[in-house]
Structure 1
Amino acid sequence: MSKPILLLVDGSSFLYRAFHAMPDLRGPDGAPTGAVHGFVAMMTKLRDDIGAEHAACIFDAKGPTFRDEWFPEYKAHRPPMPPELRAQIEPIHEVVKLLGWPVLEVPGIEADDAIGTLARMGEASGHAVVIATGDKDLAQLVTPDVTLINTMAKPPERLDEAGVEAKFGVAPNRIIDYLTLMGDAVDNVPGVEKVGPKTAAKWVQEYGSLDGVIAAADAIKGVAGENLRKALDWLPQGRRLVTVKLDCDLSGHMDGWPGLEALKLRELDKAGLIDFYTRNGFKTWLKTMTTEAKPASTAAMAPAVTGDLFAEPEPPADAAQIERHYDTVLSFEQLDAWLARLRAAPLAAFDTETDSLDPMRARIVGISFADRPGQAAYIPLRHEGPDAPEQLPLDEVLARLKPWLEDAAALKIGQNLKYDRHVLANQGIALAGAAHDTMLESYVLEAHKTHSLEALAERHLGRHGLSYEDLCGKGAHQIPFAQVDVAKASTYSCEDSEMCLHLHEVLWPRIEADAGLTRVYRDIEIPTAEILARIERQGVLVDAAKLQTQSHELGQRLLQLEQEAYAIAGQPFNLGSPKQIGEILFTKLGLPIVKKTATGAASTDEEVLSELALEFPLPAKILEVRALSKLKSTYTDKLPLQINPATGRIHTNYAQAVAVTGRLSSNEPNLQNIPIRTAEGRRVREAFIAPPGFRLVSADYSQIELRIMAHISEDPGLLRAFQEGQDVHRATASEVFGTPLDEVSSEQRRYAKTINFGLIYGMGAFGLAQSLGIEQKAAKDYIDRYFTRFAGVKRYMDETKVEAKAKGYVETVFGRRLWLPEINSGNGPRRAGAERQAINAPMQGTAADLIKLAMIAVQRELDAAGKATKMVMQVHDELVFEVPEAELDWVKTEVPRLMAGVAALKVPLLAEVGVGANWDEAH
């Protein structure tokens, strides 16, 4: 006979996970409700799935615990709870009780200790104990009768004794030893410096226990052994802090205590739930009180389709109710049948499976399609291994698919279609008809969240598909996709395609309901994706020999700087070692300690060194070494290795759905972070060259964010300066310093320039004083004078902060939403940071929109005019072209005209061009 189940929910663990997993939902009164939604879904599902007779949901109580008495620094660095989550604590407690769950909150101890105590009581009374948590610390409680489950893991995780050992490398009764050695950065519990999970598990396995590790400390060699010996005095205290207490006094904190009868699950309080759901606007959950049908997972609920920020959305169709049928295509009859279905579909999804993440080199292993949610097919093409079935020939399959893939009238959708576009191009197929991309739909709707298909399916559909790691494994044991069992590969790829369509049904109506979001998505992001693929595919020519020469010269300069640093220090030392740098700077030379690290050591980070460098030579020398070392390792050493041997060019990847402002980011390599403030950094750009018969042309928007500030703020002074073509920094200096325009000094102009750009980024008097090297009072006077003369700018800033607090986001000129999760935070510095973002984001976001519109306009004109000019890079507000010499005059005239004409602002847009044999010359 099976044992009765005691289900213990780590409410404190799941609070944050529910909060971060859910959209920013609001009740009728504007109060946040996303975490409450998530909690209702989680508790309902747990109760249905586990079938427990006794249960409790346990939360941390307010105030200090006994661990704070033992170690005052315990959890000292943990950030405060977001106010949006704090506001949901009381409603969560209320609804959990209405759902029939006993709720436990015991002052002076942590939720973990209450869970540990209840788990041992449950074992003693003959229960099988199930603990729902995401906290690894509770693995120490696992026994033959105690199991952990993590329903929010992907896939959901269940840890018994064998599972704990498989995951952590040690048995449950050694988890305390393992945690002690590692420490816990979240709780500010130090461990052994630089000892991570692998080393901790290895030591415990090798020496049997923490005590065994301590006894063997003298025999453990290397830096790890040295760090262990330094930590020996601390380890007993560390072990004490990470050990869950199993004998807490819980009396007086639960009705009916003592005894597990106090933990008996009760019936739902239907009247109470109806009232709660009504008050909080939970329409879908309210329906469950009057119907037998269960709602879709609350994780599927997205912000409203209407313009009402606080309205609860209608959920999509329950994922569990979607009929799923996946085909594995192994015959031409099946292929032809699916092609007919694809041609008949108003919108079809597809996804390629490949042998590489590098889009320029990836080869197709298989391809999947879907013509509706739940209905999909996978065509394996290059799977290998003894169990792989006979597959259709790759070339013939692609030949049959090519007409549909290249048909602009056959509308298609995918997740990050730019990658698939490259993969098809590698096979000679030019994708057309790319109408939608779920990654970009998510990005336009909620840029501040993650946009992987896995995350989107969980967040908006409540669906959990197979992950890549499920199929291929992780790390050194990961196998190529071509070796994956075809049946599993088929399920995985079919899920990707049909979930993409399912997501589109949820996301697209929300975009379509808002004119601004529709414009950003349809007119900016979708066409930009196609142009980025063309830029990436074209690549940029790089002179590897020049970079190698620069690398050698940087190496020589670094050797010289090291000797100079040794001379100042009076001894050699490792310039890459923060510890040795700290000993030299603060112990030997006696420099002032600016700040300390979490472990109490004097910090030697860049901010500290920059401050010290204003007065002392050695910190300045160390900073120069760091800058040149990074330049050498990141660019002059690495760029030649990133040249594609097939093209002789570098093909960066432009990430379109990363920056919340809409800006593009570049990686592998990052072409947007090449330092240009130093001569050495600018020289790297010399290696980006034009081929014979061509020139590089750089087209850059001039003072774009200041022009946008003038447009948005409608400040008469700024508008006049740009409309009359004045030097805006000189005009600002004239106003701020009360000096006639033609008498403004170069220093006054420099000050005005710093003020102009500083205020855009929300700089205050302290920051301005540091930038200008002046007293803070003088900086405040400058800012006050600026705002007196440019009152429209001050009004814009004040109104924007108020609007951001009310909405939770600000918008660009074109309607892109820039979300600010911390704008109403109870944490002062975080709130202030969000307010600075609120001021700057509309300008930075509008600039991002403008450069994308410029890319679209210029590329369309290049295509229409049949020009051989190619766009090869986009860097911030700059476009770089590879131009045949015969087309130079056309490009120098037309590109600035097109860039200036993409939007009608209240001030003219101005784009300037430069021409050169290399990128540096083109500036």
Structure 2
Amino acid sequence: MTNQDKIPTSNPLILVDGSSYLFRAYHVPYLQALSTSYGQPTGAITGVLNMIKSLQKDYPSGNIIVIFDAKGKTFRNDLYPEYKANRPPMPDDLRTQIAPLHNIIEALGLPLLVIDGVEADDVIGTLAHQASQLGMETVISTGDKDMAQLVTPHVRLINTMTNVELDEAGVFEKFGVKPEQIIDYLALMGDKVDNIPGVDKCGPKTAAKWLNEHQTLEQVIENAEQVKGKIGEHLRNAIPHLPLSYELATIKLDVDLPVEVQDLKANQQNTDKLLELAKQFELKRLITEVEKNAQSSATPSTGQQEQRPAVEVDYQCILTQEEFNNWVEKLKSADLFAFDTETTSLNYMEAEIVGVSFAIYEGEAAYVPLGHDYLDAPQQLDKKDVLAILKPILQNSKIKKVGQHLKYDKNVLANYDINLQGIAFDTMLESYVLNSVATKHDMDSLANFYLGVDTIHFEDIAGKGSKQLTFNQIELEQAAPYAAEDADITLRLHNVLAEKLKSETDLNSIFTEIELPLSSVLARMEQFGVLIDSQQLAQQSQDLALRIINLEKEVYELAGEEFNLASPKQLQEILYKKMDLPVLKKTPKGAPSTAEEVLQELAINYPLPKLLMEYRGLSKLKNTYTDKLPKMINMRTGRVHTSYHQAIAATGRLSSTEPNLQNIPIRTEEGRRVRQAFVARPGYKIVAADYSQIELRIMAHLSGDKGLLTAFAAGKDIHTATASEVFSTPIDAVSIEQRRNAKAINFGLIYGMSAFGLSRQLNITRHDAQKYMDLYFERYPAVLTYMEDTRTLAKEKGYVSTVFGRRLYLPEINASNGMRRKGAERAAINAPMQGTAADIIKKAMLAVDHWISEQTDNDIKMIMQVHDELVFEIKEQKIEEYKTQIISLMENAVSLDVPLIVEAGVGENWDEAH
């Protein structure tokens, strides 16, 4: 994870502990009385829905995910068969409410997770941990005290029933211990409800007292003999089972989930299904809300858009040559038409065209089916003939087209030797530039937000899951209205979005000069792909498999026993108790750390950690990369074709999937071997060109600080220069430790890090961390002024801007809740730098692509964009000439008050070139 990957925190992740609220709502007296006219209890359903609605009101820009316990036993029952053995079975009148509640939540469009073998707490812990790794702010909505162990500077709790929030200070105020001590606290007290054994007669005050004196459970146990009286006897008697109690109370942070946190997004609300369920269970308030929303065509939640009149539609399904010819003539003479393809796959390299649709006027659209092959499908026009007729129109740059995510259609058409030209607008990008966080940018969400239209959803006609049909299997009675609507809605959206962009000069420039032309650049990169040495990866996988097996045996021999190498708890027992290795660092929860950096340091002097480091690295490498990358190679081209996404990150950063190029490992030797499989064609080499410290340079430009500007202008190492200033040390006498601390300050300030956060990162006191920050601002006062001015401006406008005018909206910048407001303030400081860096690399790509297009040969291809790096495949004879030109184009893509520096390397593979 690099600094550039961190996700802005203006849209917090909201994790709802559905099971906790379900039980609590069930026991609320007035809710217990609620039921349908036919006797179905609905109190728990009503209570949970009220809590969700409260969260939606309090966190209008939050991404809400609801998590419930699964049926059956969990891994804790395997650890301790008596776990929760005393709990009575779930009452029938509560059990009957679970399935309806799940169905209603799904109809609301909210992601719902129920994972077998673990508890909801573990799923929530894992999602919160993943979110923290991405720099996302997380709110856990729960009434469960166990969740306090998850609180960090980026994770807080809220009890929706009592409206109480807990941050780190709040946890200490409530429980008398820090979040990292909560597991120890719970283990000491035990839990009668869950049947977790603790120390007899040890209540909250005693547990807190012991932990404040001794910090950790382990140290409490070590000092048990000093505890006087009866409670001391109880403590000593409990020692044998306290490690088990600790393990039972520990929330897992590594549950194997079917989806990663960044992919969990709200879907479009299924209004019909929701209304059906609301009526079935006689939920009057929900019925009223759904019907009211269905009647309203006012689009955005802000109420800024005017209500648009309903549009009468006339959709045609073209099955005859005459009808098709008529539409072809219309397209030829149209000033602009909306265009869309229907295909068999989301993978553009494998997708086959099933049909095409067009719209020239709002409400009028046509679908031309070309490949529906279900039983009794009607005769359709010949695909080859239709595409041949359309080709000159689609390739005519003077005939303007608009589409929704036209890059995909451009790639699909390329498979049929059609080079889509004349892309004048793209509604996905228009919406994204206008406001990247107001709504998702898929067509269904945009139609609902800007037009107040509930479109036909693909799942409505194709079904869901393993039984979902591909488009060629869908009957024309359903397929034609869906496809024609796509074109019609796209045109209608464009008419609204284009009008808004026209009134915003900077945003219109971002759209017309960056995002829209970049779409075609990315399409060319995707189509060309990256060459992968599959034989090298296959051999590497075999070597890894053998080495992993041997490593396990060697680890067991050194440890003197077999154990689960993936279990931090068991690893702690082996390393720190059995082998008595030194504790170099502790986890936030106070346990001896088994993190990678700790094992790496221990590995210098101890053989077991060295083997474990190798085992971990090789296992991840094999499972994530060497096994998977060869399966992504396209059989037709022999190359891997990623998909770049322009409308995901709020800051304008590009991302990629299948594979995710941003996460190809680079920090370890083993990881870099994966990059060695990214190779060039015979006679060509890989060239990688990377911006150096671009966000720090942008900070210098934005703040105008003389000290920073001078350091960069003189070509100094900025971290060494900062260390020299902050620690009043001659630049040639700066120590490695001073430079490391300065680097942490430089990057920490960019991401709004507090003194508390800096103290944790550098493992120093908060006082010392604050002193470092004060010294930094004394030396670079304009940075502090910039940060303060940015916060003020963000509060006034509700957004911040990049150097080039891209807006980064902050919905919670004026939130009454202090934590949410501070999260938005941190994002306000960071977003202009991330966003400007995104704009710069995009402008560089456009400049380089334009230069490449002017070359008469085919000696250079731009093949990848990763963070602040561009990767090329260049003919050997042109390496030096073209590398020099690339560096010049990238360094001069924009003009800032500091020089942009690009470093470029050459190699047979990506690793050599980086």
Which interval holds the TM-score relative to the shorter structure? 0.5 to 0.7
Task: Tell me what 1:908 maps to.
Answer: 899
Aligned-pair identity in percent equals 48
1:508 is displaced (CA, Å) by 1.9
Task: Tell me what 1:226 maps to.
Answer: none
Task: Tell me what 2:453 maps to.
Answer: 463
Q: Does 1:317 align with 2:238?
A: no
User: 1:497 pairs with 475, 487, 490, which one?
Assistant: 487
Residue 712 of structure 1 aligns to a residue whose secondary structure is: helix
1:877 is displaced (CA, Å) by 0.5
Q: Does 1:175 align with 2:96?
A: yes
1:477 is displaced (CA, Å) by 1.3
Task: Tell me what 1:674 maps to.
Answer: 664
Instruction: Return closer, same or farther for 1:188/1:726 CA change in 2, 3 Å cut-off.
Output: closer
Residue 662 of structure 2 aligns to a residue whose secondary structure is: coil
Q: Indicate the larger mover: 349-358 or 576-585.
A: 576-585
Name the aligned partner's letter for residue 362 of structure 1.
Answer: A
1:854 is displaced (CA, Å) by 0.4
Task: Tell me what 2:410 maps to.
Answer: 421
CA distance in 2, matches of 1:400, 1:551: 48
Instruction: Return closer, same or farther for 1:652/1:411 CA change in 2, 3 Å cut-off.
Output: same
Contact 1:531 1:859 in 2 (8 A): yes
CA distance in 2, matches of 1:660, 1:688: 29
Q: Indicate the larger mover: 728-737 or 828-837.
A: 828-837
Residue 355 of structure 2 aligns to a residue whose secondary structure is: strand
Provide, for residues 19-39 of structure 1, a one-character-per-residue CA deviation record: whole Å limited to 9, x for no partner: xxxx99xxxxxxxxxxxxxxx
Q: Does 1:851 align with 2:845?
A: no
Task: Tell me what 2:241 maps to.
Answer: none
Contact 1:326 1:375 in 2 (8 A): yes
Task: Tell me what 2:172 maps to.
Answer: none
User: 1:389 pairs with 378, 399, 408, which one?
Assistant: 378
> TM-score normalised to the size of structure 2?
0.67
RMSD over aligned Cα atoms? 4.3
CA distance in 1, matches of 2:111, 2:649: 30
Q: Does 1:330 align with 2:330?
A: no
Contact 2:812 2:821 in 1 (8 A): yes
1:195 is displaced (CA, Å) by 8.2
CA distance in 2, matches of 1:688, 1:388: 45
User: 1:350 pairs with 327, 339, 353, which one?
Assistant: 339
1:632 is displaced (CA, Å) by 1.5
CA distance in 2, matches of 1:695, 1:615: 39
Residue 800 of structure 2 aligns to a residue whose secondary structure is: strand
Contact 2:319 2:381 in 1 (8 A): yes
Task: Please show how residues 389-788 of structure 1 align to structure 2 within 5 Å.
Answer: 389-448=378-437, 449-563=439-553, 565-566=555-556, 570-576=560-566, 625-788=615-778
Name the aligned partner's letter for residue 747 of structure 2.
Answer: F
1:762 is displaced (CA, Å) by 2.2
1:701 is displaced (CA, Å) by 1.1
CA distance in 1, matches of 2:831, 2:721: 24
User: 1:865 pairs with 811, 836, 855, which one?
Assistant: 855
Instruction: Return closer, same or farther for 1:534/1:737 CA change in 2, 3 Å cut-off.
Output: same
Contact 2:32 2:43 in 1 (8 A): no
Contact 1:365 1:380 in 2 (8 A): yes
Instruction: Return closer, same or farther for 1:568/1:412 CA change in 2, 3 Å cut-off.
Output: same
Instruction: Return closer, same or farther for 1:922/1:191 CA change in 2, 3 Å cut-off.
Output: closer
1:675 is displaced (CA, Å) by 1.7
CA distance in 2, matches of 1:74, 1:188: 15
Contact 2:25 2:47 in 1 (8 A): no
Residue 920 of structure 1 aligns to a residue whose secondary structure is: helix
1:761 is displaced (CA, Å) by 2.0
Instruction: Return closer, same or farther for 1:858/1:612 CA change in 2, 3 Å cut-off.
Output: closer
Q: Does 1:876 align with 2:867?
A: yes
CA distance in 2, matches of 1:619, 1:372: 68
Instruction: Return closer, same or farther for 1:826/1:323 CA change in 2, 3 Å cut-off.
Output: same
Contact 2:413 2:419 in 1 (8 A): yes
Instruction: Return closer, same or farther for 1:451/1:777 CA change in 2, 3 Å cut-off.
Output: same
Residue 700 of structure 2 aligns to a residue whose secondary structure is: helix
Instruction: Return closer, same or farther for 1:753/1:867 CA change in 2, 3 Å cut-off.
Output: farther
Name the aligned partner's letter for residue 480 of structure 1.
Answer: T
Task: Tell me what 2:887 maps to.
Answer: 896
Instruction: Return closer, same or farther for 1:480/1:893 CA change in 2, 3 Å cut-off.
Output: same
Contact 2:683 2:876 in 1 (8 A): yes
Q: Does 1:378 align with 2:378?
A: no
Contact 1:613 1:619 in 2 (8 A): yes
Q: Indicate the larger mover: 337-346 or 454-463.
A: 337-346
CA distance in 1, matches of 2:113, 2:630: 44
Residue 921 of structure 1 aligns to a residue whose secondary structure is: helix
Task: Tell me what 2:299 maps to.
Answer: 300
Contact 1:325 1:375 in 2 (8 A): yes
Contact 1:296 1:462 in 2 (8 A): no
Instruction: Return closer, same or farther for 1:852/1:177 CA change in 2, 3 Å cut-off.
Output: closer
Residue 354 of structure 2 aligns to a residue whose secondary structure is: strand
Contact 1:698 1:879 in 2 (8 A): yes
1:743 is displaced (CA, Å) by 3.9
Name the aligned partner's letter for residue 96 of structure 2.
Answer: I
1:916 is displaced (CA, Å) by 1.1
Instruction: Return closer, same or farther for 1:404/1:549 CA change in 2, 3 Å cut-off.
Output: same
Q: Does 1:802 align with 2:801?
A: no
1:909 is displaced (CA, Å) by 1.6
> TM-score normalised to the size of structure 1?
0.67
Contact 1:316 1:506 in 2 (8 A): no
- The size of the alignment, in residue pairs, is 685
Name the aligned partner's letter for residue 801 of structure 1.
Answer: R
1:629 is displaced (CA, Å) by 2.1
Contact 2:25 2:31 in 1 (8 A): no
Residue 369 of structure 1 aligns to a residue whose secondary structure is: strand
CA distance in 2, matches of 1:368, 1:465: 16
Residue 371 of structure 1 aligns to a residue whose secondary structure is: strand
Residue 748 of structure 2 aligns to a residue whose secondary structure is: helix
Instruction: Return closer, same or farther for 1:495/1:680 CA change in 2, 3 Å cut-off.
Output: same
Instruction: Return closer, same or farther for 1:296/1:846 CA change in 2, 3 Å cut-off.
Output: farther
Provide, for residues 468-494 of structure 1, a one-character-per-residue CA deviation record: whole Å limited to 9, x for no partner: 111111112112211100121001111
Name the aligned partner's letter for residue 347 of structure 1.
Answer: L
1:510 is displaced (CA, Å) by 1.8
Contact 2:297 2:453 in 1 (8 A): no
CA distance in 2, matches of 1:507, 1:701: 34
1:453 is displaced (CA, Å) by 0.7
Residue 574 of structure 1 aligns to a residue whose secondary structure is: coil
CA distance in 2, matches of 1:723, 1:680: 37
Q: Indicate the larger mover: 387-396 or 333-342.
A: 333-342
Name the aligned partner's letter for residue 901 of structure 2.
Answer: L
Contact 2:756 2:769 in 1 (8 A): yes
Residue 678 of structure 2 aligns to a residue whose secondary structure is: coil
CA distance in 1, matches of 2:362, 2:639: 41
Which structure 2 residue ranges, 5 or more long, are not aligned?
1-9, 12-16, 51-91, 121-190, 196-282
Which structure 1 residue ranges, 5 or more long, are not aligned?
1-22, 25-67, 79-107, 139-170, 197-230, 236-262, 269-287, 289-293, 304-311, 597-601
Residue 680 of structure 2 aligns to a residue whose secondary structure is: coil
1:555 is displaced (CA, Å) by 2.9
Contact 1:586 1:593 in 2 (8 A): no
Contact 1:301 1:316 in 2 (8 A): no
Instruction: Return closer, same or farther for 1:706/1:232 CA change in 2, 3 Å cut-off.
Output: closer
Name the aligned partner's letter for residue 800 of structure 2.
Answer: V
Provide, for residues 839-871 of structure 1, a one-character-per-residue CA deviation record: whole Å limited to 9, x for no partner: 111111111110000000111011123342100
Instruction: Return closer, same or farther for 1:322/1:752 CA change in 2, 3 Å cut-off.
Output: same
1:117 is displaced (CA, Å) by 3.6
1:906 is displaced (CA, Å) by 1.1
1:739 is displaced (CA, Å) by 2.7
1:462 is displaced (CA, Å) by 1.4
